[in-house]
Structure 1
Amino acid sequence: MVDDAPAHHVPTHDAPARVRQLRLVVEAEDFDAAVTFYRDVLGLPERAAFEGEGDARVAILDAGMATLELANPAQVKMIDAVEAEGRPSARIRIAFEVDDSAASTMELVDAGAELIAEPRETPWRSLNSRLHAPADLEVTLFQELGES
């Protein structure tokens, strides 16, 4: 019998990784406000910062482990329903794992983020909130709640 189902790649952990780092590059119109928000309020440590001619500036902030989460439209719609009462998310949304989603959400709102959705428990046992943050980014904060 021939199986016409698409093959799924099973990762092998013995093979060396070809990609060493995921770096998301975001243009921030108000650079100082964005650095203050993400570095000082959210707490992403600064790895490096560089300045160049014509007031060119960049700050490289460490966000811990990076993953690339690819989701089909049905999954995105389901996440939007759970996380933000069905409000469609931006095509690219940044998710940060934090220790206390509720407290971190309020800190970011106090620092200028627009609250899209209050922290709420998801079916996958995390506490998620959604915000519109500096540098025109849509952000999800999530706190893993562990086993029930």
Structure 2
Amino acid sequence: MLSDPVPTVRQLRLVVEAEDHEAAVAFFRDALGLPEQAAFSGDGDARVVILDAGRATLEIANPAQKRMIDDVEVGRQVAPRIRVAFEVDDARATAARLVAAGAAEVAPPTLTPWQSLNARLDAPANLHISIFEELRTAEERAAPDGSALDDDGPG
């Protein structure tokens, strides 16, 4: 008798409570450019907007890795337990646009040892975020001599 297959995860959805809902939606939808998938409202002024963030991954880092990434990207320990990272085409332009839209710059775009350009920001909804631009192709990152795991990345 065959056992039941392992359930397949079809989507990762990060749910964030935002005191200033309108400002958070404007920042992530309009400034960062996450397309709106759906919006719902209910009794008592309950509101949610679901934004499409493209492909999702769950990155599990131990405390030493989290500290190392903070040191590389910022030069000091700043990230809370959860940090949200967004891959973009142009880290410098995106970081500047997000600061103009209300984010606080924690660290400017910084070249990492794993060849990405990463900026740190404190964003609306009390989220600490990374904006990162991959400077190598997926093939270059996967090559035995260019593997992100070989140089302590990604992150």
Q: Percent identity?
A: 63
Provide the residue aligned with 2:94 in structure 1. 104
Secondary structure of the structure 2 residue equivalent to 1:102:
helix
Per the normalisation by structure 2, the TM-score is: 0.83
Provide the residue aligned with 1:39 in structure 2. 29
Q: CA deviation at 1:88?
A: 2.7
Match of 1:23 among 13, 17, 35: 13
Q: CA deviation at 1:127?
A: 0.2
Provide the residue aligned with 2:81 in structure 1. 91
Q: Match for 2:135: what amino acid? A: L
Q: CA deviation at 1:107?
A: 0.3
Q: CA deviation at 1:18?
A: 1.2
Q: 1:93-136 CA deviation, whole Å, 9 max, x = no partner?
A: 00000000000000000000000000011000100000000000
Question: Which runs of 5 or more residues in structure 2 are unaligned?
Answer: 141-145, 147-155
Alpha-carbon distance in structure 1 between the residues aligned to 2:30 and 2:96 = 15
Q: CA deviation at 1:87?
A: 2.6
Question: Which runs of 5 or more residues in structure 1 are unaligned?
Answer: 1-14
Question: Within the alignment, does 1:124 sit opposite 2:124 as a pair?
Answer: no
Secondary structure of the structure 2 residue equivalent to 1:107:
helix
Q: CA deviation at 1:141?
A: 0.3
Alpha-carbon distance in structure 1 between the residues aligned to 2:102 and 2:7 = 38
Number of matched pairs: 134
Q: Match for 2:70: what amino acid? A: D
Change (3 A) 1:17 1:67: farther
Q: Match for 1:90: what amino acid? A: P
